[in-house]
Chains A and B, each alone.
Chain A
Amino acid sequence: METKKKIRVLAAKPGLDGHDRGIKVISRALRDAGMEVIYTGLRQTPSQIVSTAIQEDVDVIALSVLSGAHNYLFPKIMDLLREKGAGDVLVIGGGIIPKEDVPGLKAAGIAEIFGPGTYTRDIIAYIEQHAG
């Protein structure tokens, strides 16, 4: 019987934002759902995140920013991923992101934004559907 390969996720905190409750809860929920999750910890530069993602050969990157710096950080990460030939990694984001910023982030390559009030089971379902 073929065992399904575990989905590998990099959970990352780009920039200076120190709020990590959400990303830690999500990481734990994803692990409980059978995924392999690497959490980067705080204060990751876009280039560190991209490096780690490639090194760890992840299927998904989950970015969390509550500081309002998402419009700079998320597209920067997408640019670097494409530059390094890893543009096919599924990248999702969350945090404090006004709805009007979502189209711009999606245009930059972020697959989906999961804001406050999201159920972890919906993130799990999304990842399984798009990266499973």
Chain B
Amino acid sequence: MAIDDIREKKKAWQAGVEKSLAKNPESQDAFFTISDLPVERLYTPADTADLDYLRDIGFPGEYPFTRGVQPTMYRGRLWTMRQYAGFAAAEESNRRYKYLLEQGQTGLSVAFDLPTQIGYDSDHEFSLGEVGKVGVAIDSLADMEVLFDGIPLDKVSTSMTINATAAVLLAMYMVVGEKQGVSGDRLTGTIQNDILKEYAARGTYIFPPQPSMRIITDIFAFCTEHVPRWNTISISGYHIREAGSTAVQEVAFTLANGIAYVEAAVKAGLKVDDFGPRLSFFFNSHLDFLEEIAKFRAARRLWARIMKERFGAKNPRSLMLRFHTQTAGCTLTAQQPANNIVRVAFQALAAVLGGTQSLHTNSMDEAFSLPTEEAVAIALKTQQLVGYETGVADTVDPLAGSYYLENLTSRIEAGAEEYIQRIEGLGGAVAAVEKGFIQREIQDSAYRYQRAVEDGQRVVVGVNKFQTEDVQPGNLLRVDPSVGERQVEKLKKLRAERDNAAVDKALAALERAARGTDNLLPPIIEAVRCYTTLGEIISVLRGVFGEHEASVGA
């Protein structure tokens, strides 16, 4: 049999190599991916003998979607170039969005500051020092109107990285659209809205898990009816990976969270094929080039199987894992920052070879600060170079069939499946995070990686090898503390000028809905419309739902 012949011949070849190792040693005794998966010297058809092309690899746009979610992929349309951006106040961020659109980006991605993400107005004591620092400060609809001034919401799709307060920002976006004459059914975009990874890896949770899941399923139900072209969630592995997880854990914990969301929605009475097509995902693109490509393919195949076999989804669109990718922030170095341009280029290429639907590329100066215009232009150009000059976008899933890549895809899928089973054994993703299992696994991987770097086993160019004297890039982006002061003034003016009776009425209605089971979106939209602030809305919800007490576990 042909495969047996190959195995035999490979054994003989290996024996020959072993003999020559004394004279020509390999640089390591054993090789591993950055996620600790063994990497053999050579892969042959024997390593993919268990795969059935039609069953396991198949065709793009068809189950199990290993090769991609659309039949023509980038030949039809390149991935959306969507740079995460936002800082200071709405005016500054609006300018940056217009700059990025002029430079050729094809979708918007909004970064909000921490007070906005955690439900505090800019004048709250916890907001001191934080306003506008990691993203734009949005206190009310008034800020949102400035943020999208001159940006037509029927022509641009917008992704908003917002989780615990996603319902409020979505409501604001809808009202801005309404004022532009764009009805909900024409809005396109995404809200991240993935609270489970906040507990495990990102930290911008507000309420405990149960009420948080209620808000999320309310959003699914509301959007299915009123904002049907909106991605209601971006189930994220990016942050899990940034926190230190391996590629296998990234897939496993993300898909386990996905399972929890689908279960919650089904339990809330929603039909899987109604909300399924609007679930989306968000992955990291990290250093190990080939492992990342395999990871994306493994995630697609595994999710398709889960939705089909476990949840009985019938609509092919419910089976498609559509995803956004961001290049790995944690791999950016402060030392020799120009190297980051190259790292990001490799990571962008991996994401494209992995079939991403949209992509953010980091800037070279982000180990120091948010990016300057010059730095972000290079990051965007990187995507344009990949898309227009390398040729990789001209055929679908070009690395399919590689013995190593298919073998690695299967190994990552198997590893993720094993983890998902363990998580099921613990009672599911919510229980696993409450028990600290997810956090411990991530921390252990993070520590192992740090040890490997400090021991020199894992090279980081410019940091533990090939070091030079530190030179920080000049001209870093600075967010002035006066941004916070300006927001406080704006709030004073807003509260003086709005219809406070309407605000009080809206907040009372919101509280009633929160205490009951009515969908929270309509009362939130009403509150937003009369310029109730984000902090005021969230404060009511805090009063009803309580706050999550994180276990410390370190």
A residues within 8 Å of B by Cβ? Answer: 11, 15-21, 23-25, 27-29, 39-43, 45, 67-69, 71-73, 76, 96, 98-100, 115-117, 119-121
Contact = CB atoms under 8 A, between A and B. Distances in A.
A21 B242 contact: yes
Contact of A16 (B115, B370, B447): B115
A61 to B, nearest CB: 15
Contacts of A117: 333-335, 460, 463
Interface stretch (B127-135, B168-176, B402-410, B517-525): B127-135
B450 A42 contact: no
Contacts of B204: 16, 18
Contacts of A99: 368, 470, 472
Interface string B234-260: 000000001110000000000000000
B554 A20 contact: yes
A68 B446 contact: no
A114 B210 CA distance: 39
A42 B114 contact: no
Interface residues of B, number: 46
Interface in B98-151: 114-115, 117-118, 120, 125-130, 133-134
13 contacts: A18-B203, A21-B330, A24-B446, A28-B443, A39-B554, A42-B550, A43-B203, A68-B369, A96-B369, A115-B334, A116-B334, A117-B335, A117-B463
A-B interface, 8 closest residue pairs, ranked by CB to CB distance from nearest: A18-B203, A72-B129, A68-B133, A16-B114, A69-B129, A39-B554, A41-B552, A116-B334
A39 to B, nearest CB: 4
Interface string B392-411: 00000000000000000000
Interface of B: 114-115, 117-118, 120, 125-130, 133-134, 198, 202-204, 242-244, 330, 332-335, 367-370, 443, 446-447, 450, 454, 460, 463, 470, 472, 476, 478-479, 481, 550-552, 554
A17 B114 contact: yes
A116 to B, nearest CB: 4
Contacts of A24: 443, 446-447, 554
Contact of B554 (A11, A69, A72): A11
A68 B115 contact: no
Nearest to B335: A117
A45 B463 CA distance: 33
Nearest to A115: B334
A95 to B, nearest CB: 11
Contacts of B552: 39-41
A96 B554 contact: no
Task: Output the residue of A39, A73, A98 with the most chain B CB within 10 A.
Answer: A98
B203 A20 contact: yes
Contacts of A21: 242-244, 330, 443, 446
B240 to A, nearest CB: 11
Contacts of A29: 447, 450
Nearest to B245: A21
Nearest to B476: A98
A39 B446 CA distance: 17
Contacts of B115: 16
Contact of A121 (B129, B330, B454, B463): B454
A71 B478 CA distance: 12
Contacts of B120: 16
Contacts of A73: 129
A71 to B, nearest CB: 7
Contacts of A76: 129
A21 B331 CA distance: 13
B203 A42 contact: yes
Given A21-B242, A99-B470, 4 more contacts: A16-B126, A28-B443, A43-B126, A68-B130
Given A98-B472, A98-B476, A119 B114 contact: no
B477 to A, nearest CB: 10
